[in-house]
Structure 1
Amino acid sequence: MASNMVKKVLLGGLAAAGAAAWAIAPRRSSDKHRHAVQPVPDVWYAHRGLHDAGSGLNEQYAAESGEYVALARRMAMKAGYGTPEVTGPIAPENSLASFAAACEAGFGIELDIQMTADGRIVVVHDNDLMRVAGDPRRIADLTYDELTRIPLFPSPSKPGDARSAQAGDGEPAQVPQGYYQHVPLFSDVLKVVNGRVPIIVEYKFETNRYWDERDEEFMDLGDALLSAYDGTYVMESFHPGAVAWYRKHRPTYAVGSWPRRSSFGNGVLPWAAGSLGFNFLGRPDFVAYDWHGGNLPQVRAARAMGATAVSWTVRSSDEYAICDDWFDRHIFESFVPQYR
């Protein structure tokens, strides 16, 4: 009796392990070869461009972020954005200036795209503009024309700010005077990059729990821009439906899952996302994972089965030293990598 019980437990354990391995497995090497899929280019990727205001620029990383901000401003001015007389940010996160700065410095770029109320594809991370512009309105409720009149990190923000210092109260009555950057069209970003450096493009959704006609439209429009782009890029998303869409419609391109528990709310779904449990839906070529979790069993297993592991977001040389052995590529900000 005891022997039978042990066998059942062992068989159950093996079945569970097999199911887990099947769920998190990336695309098979034979399929990559058949479609001639190129690997994720081996460069450092500047998170939301090389920026002098925005994500990661807080007191915790002040020891190294000064050099990073100075480089972002210098490279943006080299590309023709701003002047030394501009006292506010020159190259805020996800702006044309920040992407031009990354190109001038020779870094790859990681960026986020969303769709506006009038069906334009723009580059912006948050679902609203509160953090980056002091404006509480949502991207999905604004037209691109409205976005052009909302400065990113407006005065009294200063270089090195992680968050806009201005509490917004709605759309400005007219386009502000003087130098400023606004949420850009994805098409304009692609013109600025112009194939000079590789891009990791993240499709951002208001929710990752559902899929509707607007999401299909978003995928079609984003893909149309990328298909016409003569440069190197890979695609990623929190949403497993977007990963599956690209694997189906664009099998020759590298596709990545970007699992994050908080993007799925509460319950079983967040646990499954963080455990790479949705990989079976799209069989990604790479996995972008919080740098703290690079040594977790699911990440190590996916990497052992052929997935490229990409860290996000490394913000200091100390963090890089901790996680470098766990990852094949890195998305960074707030410090300047010592080689590039």
Structure 2
Amino acid sequence: MSSNKFLRNLLVGGALAAGAAAWAIKPRSFTDKQHNYVPAVPDVWYAHRGLHDAGSGLTPQYAVESGEYVARARTMAMKAGYGDPSVTTAIAPENSLAAFAAAAEAGYGIELDLQLSADGQVVVLHDPDLKRVAGDPRRVAELTYDELTGIALFGNDAPGTAVASAPASVAPSGYFQHVPLFSDVLRVVAGRVPLIVEYKFDDNAVFGPREEELMEKGDALLQAYDGPYVIESFNPRAVEWYKEHRPEVCRGQLSWPAEVNGEGGVAEWAAGLLVFDFLSRPDFVAYDWKGGNSPQVRAARAMGATAVSWTVRSSDELAQCDDWFDRHIFEAFVPVR
């Protein structure tokens, strides 16, 4: 093969590969958005798991700014009617009604996570188990909602705690927060601020009857809700579910720059490249803040996708990623815009 023919084949192959990659990560078309009257992701700051005084992000690494954040969470939660100055433990732990009420009082949007309890209730919690947030190793999927109400989130822990201590054998007396029903969260927020609702699954490569059940029940609650929201998931089949069943809802693909030899293997690495977006044609890409400058996020944004960062935890991190994102999910610091 002559060098000219080899070079021509190489260029053609590269162009085909680039075209295939662009097709794979292309977001929903502008025409589709117009046809279905799809709203944009509301332009506000989104409090990660609510505005909380115990939980995710409250580690020594972020101690310089997190004190102000914790104080604001407690002040806003008490303003909303949760706890009082005499409560020395957490008032508004992450993913609690108090944390969501605090965020709404402060005027922040809210990012939260949905999963199913053992009795098929749609509850709000990020982790598959209660080990980190309550010191209890049992899984949410193994507990009924009634059982969840007796487990205190960070019940014996001081404000600013990132990981809960060992649980009490019985529900503590006095004030505490527990895993809430999604319906109660919607009642508390009452349309005051926009929501980013994540459908949460143990295995994002699986989409079976239980995953379908969560989609149907979560969506039924949202259809009855009078307030702004968008949905997202790491599972491209969940985002595709909204494409097929509720095209009028703004939908987003969650992802991050996974390593090919990481825990999720090749599939998770490919998902990080957004190559499964052809299934769902998302309106926005919610991406790890460290990956905003990646070619795939920049390409998706150039083709019309809104870029949403997760999760920014300091002013320094915001300064590093702000140019690459249109919206931010934050915690552990009080953003100033």
| TM > 0.5 fold call | yes
How many residues align structurally? 334
Q: Is 1:90 aligned to 2:88, yes or no?
A: no
Pairwise CA distance, 1:7: 1.0
Pairwise CA distance, 1:154: 1.8
Question: Is there any run of 5+ residues in structure 2 with no aligned partner, and where?
Answer: none
Output one character per residue of 1:25-45: Cα deviation in whole Å (capped at 9) or x when no partner.
Answer: 100111111111000000000
Aligned with residue 248 of structure 2, among 236, 246, 252: 252
Output one character per residue of 1:192-235: Cα deviation in whole Å (capped at 9) or x when no partner.
Answer: 00000000000000111111111111110000000000000000
Moved over 4 A (4+): none
2:161 equivalent in structure 1: 161
Pairwise CA distance, 1:176: 2.4
Output one character per residue of 1:144-191: Cα deviation in whole Å (capped at 9) or x when no partner.
Answer: 000000000021x11001110x224xx834x32100000000000000
Identity of aligned residues (%): 67
Pairwise CA distance, 1:80: 0.3
* Cα separation, 2, equivalents of 1:117 and 1:108: 29
Pairwise CA distance, 1:84: 0.2
2:216 equivalent in structure 1: 220
* Cα separation, 2, equivalents of 1:316 and 1:329: 15
Output one character per residue of 1:8-63: Cα deviation in whole Å (capped at 9) or x when no partner.
Answer: 11110000000000111100111111111000000000000000000000001100
Q: Where do residues 99-248 of structure 1 align in structure 2 (5 Å cutoff)?
A: 99-155=100-156, 157-164=157-164, 166-168=165-167, 172-173=169-170, 175-248=171-244
Question: Is there any run of 5+ residues in structure 1 with no aligned partner, and where?
Answer: none
Pairwise CA distance, 1:266: 3.2
Pairwise CA distance, 1:268: 1.5
* Cα separation, 1, equivalents of 2:136 and 2:182: 21
Contact residue 52 and residue 91 of structure 1 kept, 8 A: yes
TM-score, with normalisation over the residues of structure 2? 0.97
2:328 equivalent in structure 1: 330
Output one character per residue of 1:59-111: Cα deviation in whole Å (capped at 9) or x when no partner.
Answer: 01100000000000000000000010001000000000000000000000000
TM-score, with normalisation over the residues of structure 1? 0.96
* Cα separation, 1, equivalents of 2:103 and 2:222: 19
Output one character per residue of 1:238-281: Cα deviation in whole Å (capped at 9) or x when no partner.
Answer: 0001000011111011000001338x943220111111111001
* Cα separation, 1, equivalents of 2:41 and 2:300: 15
Q: What is the letter of the counterpart of residue 280 of structure 2?
A: G
Pairwise CA distance, 1:2: 1.7
